[in-house]
Structure 1
């Protein structure tokens, strides 16, 4: 049990966060702060719509989640795969090592930048929340 305490604790935190966002609707004004970038510039950041996406996932509406923030839903999937790998390795008593090289970080940054730019252009409005 001690070996899986880390992944189990992280999953408990994720479940609590999704439970809260699932019960307190971000579609209703006044519950969560507005994105400062959106408020000051009118530009959607890569995280805009993330709470609405999490709310939709908590309610099992994957289509609405993709409509709110497709990148966040993909991130939820990547997290799930990594978490399962972590849990399996922890249960087997093997250490987990995820090392990202600078090229990986640059790739992540490029994806975030491209997503941000495209969702703010007229032809990419389908990606806007």
Structure 2
């Protein structure tokens, strides 16, 4: 997208309550989107810097936010590296998951994976 199109899409996003944005790491920096309360990483960031930039979309100034990191077994080493950097290995806990809810999320995660694969091929 050219810059004009990006700005127009961001204006539309900001104008709608309860909207969401799916973006690559390109969007992790340089976008000022006020009022972001939640951020979900569906791929484990490859570096702590990327994790910070992505998660920094939430909880700006005095507001609170939640950053959720979904990881697969093959991403555990990346996750451990992030945890070790923050020296939080004893404090970060697994988020309790209702397995009935998991099934409804699985189709969305699979769709996100397909989108990611398509972008890697281009």
- TM-score of the aligned structures, taking structure 1 as reference length: 0.24
More strand as a share of residues: 2
- TM-score of the aligned structures, taking structure 2 as reference length: 0.25
Higher relative contact order (CA 8 A, sep 6+): 1
